[in-house]
Structure 1
Amino acid sequence: MDPILLVGFPAVGDFVRCHSAIRILAERFPDRPIDVVTAPGNVAFARFMPHIRKAWALKRQPMELGLAERRNLAGELRKENYGSAYLMTSTIKAALIPFMAGIPERIGYPQELQFGLVNRLPTGWLRHLWAFGPRKTRLYEEVCSIVTLGAKPMANVDWPAPQMIIPAAELDDWRSRAGVEADKPALTIFTGDMESPRSWPVERFISIAKDYSDQGWAVWIVGGPREHNTANRIRAGVPQAVDFTTTPLIDVMYQLGASALFLGVNGGMSHAAAALNIPCVLIFGSNLSYLHAPVNEHVRLLEPPISTPSWIKDTLGVSEERVREALAGALEEARHPQSA
């Protein structure tokens, strides 16, 4: 049957959340291959997502239309004879790709009034579009609604959570290359950009890292250039911690997959860890976890107390004590899931 193209988001966390939509499509159309279009950095993530046959890279150009690059990509896509395209990101720039590729069925919400570029709209699209506003509908719900054409999940049945799987042999190979002890548990920390209100005070990360290091755990700090300075500060307080913020993106997946426990803030690494089924404790600002957090069941979410004014977006109200309790609980649940 004709393959399906899914045009995803460029940001890591948003792209990972699109896997819920892919799982729905794979169940509905088991005989149709599914490919995705996303940012170049996400191609490394796509290979660990079940049901994705191929990932096409499209460079992100926030201030430009990027017509030439889209035309070139459309030429390659045309050769694949896609029958349907599902547009996760409801923009004109995204809708141009399947239109230029000649894909006959182009499904999505016309958030930028791209009628014609999008030629099949989910049921109740006008009401749903109005509900979006400034992302009032969760992205998880939005992408699932697109691929189900506006249908709601049946009673007592939830849409699937994102899922990522790393082959055991690849993890073993990475451990060998990185000199990682397979029998030593690792606490992986994702601090995010310390200049962002999404993050958590570095002194608290250091305190948690020291606790686990003193208990014989490995402590790994993951991320990219934005997290590198913070990694240096954590290592200054906990010299045994390992800074993985300068490694290739593909290695970050192995670092997450080899973790026993994950502590992070709102960001792409946290969504990837959750999709990999790692026990997670994630810290969010006030009233933000419902909209932005992963929906995987094994994720524990911490926000400032409800007495904190809703307009305070930082994470200062989340105490070290609550984080320690949540980490211990997540680990206990992972070890004894039936008793949790």
Structure 2
Amino acid sequence: MKTLIIGPSWVGDMVMSQSLYKRLKDHHPDALIDVLAPAWCKPILERMPEVNRAIEMPVGHGQFSLSERWNLGRSLREEHYDHAYVLPNSAKSALIPLFANIPKRTGWKGEFRFGLLNDLRPDRKVFQYMVERYVALAHSKKTMLSEVNIQSVSNPSLEVDKGNQTACLQRFGISSQSPLVGLCPGAEFGPAKRWPDGHYTTIAKQLIEEGNQICLFGGPKDKPVTNSIRNALSDSQKSMCFDLAGETALVDAVDLLAACHTVFSNDSGLMHVAAAVGANIVAIYGSSSPKYTPPLSHCVKMVNTDIDCRPCFKRECPLGHLNCLNDLAPQQVMAAYKELNLSAQSEKQ
């Protein structure tokens, strides 16, 4: 069984897709699973033991580039794949398996995919969660509803490189002897997912007073946010806070998140990475909802306000007030953290 996956283009979705690979391996232990995805995904895919090979997608997200897709598809014909699974919903994402002459091509009904996919699933909304929709593709149309539910899904579990983790801690001067908490205050999707910097600062101060070190995670675009949080700390507090935004490769962030006993995060890709490496998660929701893409872990507390206008799933607040985030008090988030720690301690006992 030789399988090609057309992978998603977002960090969180790529992490969640591992649950599909696990289910495919359950069905066919000797299956070879190759994943076609953007170059940045390679470090994530290399931490998934189910994946045989990550193939770089030469076409940027949102670009059509028919000739490049044709050339890539033709080059993949020599791989003689038996089956393709197309995870994005666009028509262009289904072209490469067709051009590669892959005999069975499975995916959900999307934009103009009739003929491109020959195992077309009609309505992905029969499943509530994104991860269920991925895993359902490993089953037939007839059995997927009875065999797939969120309780039966294997959570993503990225491998951690302990050697690289130690090297990264040493590089940034982070002590391995003091407890470490991660804060992920950015959100690529937009400001309607970002809990205010000042609220994160309040959390950071309290955690440091309790003896924790703080790591601020994010990409280069998140640097103004993480700078704002760290600059609001006292000099002594700053010595316990490490701003890593834009300073780490994604693979390093994977290993450093695994060093954190707890991660506070907006609904973002790093939240899913942190869940997949075993950290306790305090997940903060604004415009989005945990009823669609929750962190897939048993050690999670999800917090949000209950105002009437959320979830709206908008990038920016359509009403201009961001009350779903501004009104979510640090005290409420810290209460969730305390509950999470208590339940984790009781489980260990």
**Pair in the same fold by TM > 0.5:** yes
Task: Give 1:70 shift.
Answer: 2.1
Q: 1:253 to 1:90 in 2, by over 3 A?
A: same
> Structure 1 residue 338: deviation in Å?
4.9
> Which piece of structure 1 moves more, 286-295 or 103-112?
286-295
Following the alignment from structure 2 to structure 1, what is the Cα–Cα distance between the partners of residues 135 and 217?
29
Taking structure 1 as reference, are residues 212 and 148 closer, same or farther at Cα in structure 2, changes over 3 Å only? same
Q: Which residue does the alignment assign to 1:167?
A: 161
In structure 2, relative to structure 1, the CA distance for the partners of 1:52 and 1:149 (3 Å cut) is: same
Q: Residue 275 of structure 1 corresponds to which residue in structure 2?
A: 276
Change (3 A) 1:162 1:288: same
Deviation at 1:292, TM superposition (A): 2.5
| Partner-residue secondary structure (3-state), 1:70 | helix
Distance across 2 between alignment mates of 1:45 and 1:57: 13
* Residue matched to 1:45: 44
Which ranges in structure 2 are unaligned for 5 or more consecutive residues? 313-323
- Extract structure 1 runs of 4+ deviating beyond 6 A: none
8 Å contact kept, 1:286–1:303: no
Match of 2:205 in 1: 210
d(CA) in 1 for partners of 2:150, 2:91: 36
Shift of 1:12: 0.7
1:287 deviation in Å?
6.6
Aligned partner letter, 2:244: F
C-alpha displacement at 1:263, in angstroms? 0.2
**Structure-1 residue corresponding to 2:195:** 200
1:322 is aligned to 2:349? no
In structure 2, distance between residues paired with 1:106 and 1:90: 13
Q: For residues 165-189 of structure 1, give each alpha carbon's deviation from its aligned partner in whole angstroms, at most 9, with x where no partner exists.
A: 2133332333334333222211111
C-alpha separation in 1, matches of 2:311 and 2:132: 26
How many angstroms apart in 2 are the aligned matches of 1:99 and 1:268? 30
The structure 2 residue matched to 1:226, chosen from 198, 221, 226, is 221
Structure 1 pair 187–140 and aligned structure 2 pair: CA distance change class (3 A): same
1:246 partnered with 2:246: yes
CA distance in 2, matches of 1:147, 1:78: 22
Aligned twin of 2:295: 294
User: Are 1:193 and 1:226, in contact at CA under 8 Å, matched by a contact in 2?
Assistant: no
Q: 1:139-160: CA deviations, max 9, x gaps?
A: 1121111122341327895222
Deviates more, 1:220-229 or 1:75-84: 75-84
- Tell me the alpha carbon deviations over residues 272-309 of structure 1, each in whole angstroms, 9 at most, x when there is no partner: 1111111000110267111132232212111103xx11
- In 1, the alpha carbon distance for the partners of 2:155 and 2:119 equals 25
Q: Structure 2 CA distance, aligned partners of 1:115 and 1:312?
A: 32
- Return the offset for 1:311: 4.1
> In structure 2, how many angstroms separate the alpha carbons of the residues matched to 1:156 and 1:42?
25
Q: How does 1:90-129 map to 2 (within 5 A)?
A: 90-121=89-120, 125-126=121-122, 128-129=123-124
Q: Calculate the aligned-residue CA RMSD, in Å.
A: 2.3
Change (3 A) 1:283 1:87: same
Given that 2:169 and 2:175 are in contact with CA atoms closer than 8 Å, whether structure 1 keeps it comes out as: yes
Give the Cα separation in 2 of the matches to 1:232 and 1:286: 24
Shift of 1:23: 0.9
User: Among the aligned pairs, what percent are the same residue?
Assistant: 24
Name the SS for the 2:193 alignment partner.
Answer: coil
Question: Are the equivalent residues in 2 in contact too, given 1:78–1:101 (CA < 8 A)?
Answer: yes
Deviation sequence 1:240-286 (CA, Å, 0-9, x none):
32111112222211221111110010110001111111100011026
Are residues 312 and 176 of structure 1, via their aligned partners in 2, closer, same or farther at CA, if it must alter by over 3 Å? Answer: closer
Contact conserved, 2:193 with 2:287, CA < 8 A, in 1?
no
SS in 1 for 2:117: coil
Structure 1 residue 227, shift from structure 2 partner: 1.2
Deviation at 1:110, TM superposition (A): 2.8
Residues 252, 204 of structure 1: CA spacing in aligned structure 2 closer, same or farther, 3 A cutoff? Answer: same
1:317 Cα deviation after fit: 3.1
TM-aligned CA distance change 1:311 to 1:175, over 3 Å: closer
* TM-score normalized by the length of structure 2: 0.86
* Cα distance in 1, alignment partners of residues 300 and 68 from structure 2: 38
Task: Measure how far apart 1:329 and its partner are.
Answer: 2.3
| Change beyond 3 A, Cα 1:140–1:154 | closer
Distance 2:57 2:149 in 1: 38
Long gaps (5+) in structure 1: none
Number of residue pairs matched by the alignment: 328
CA separation of 1:287 and 1:154: change in aligned 2, threshold 3 A = closer
Partner of 1:334: 344
1:73 aligns with 2:83: no
Q: Which shows bigger deviation, 105-114 or 146-155?
A: 146-155
Give yes or no for contact 2:276–2:297 (8 Å, CA) kept in 1: yes
Deviation larger for 324-333 or 68-77? 68-77
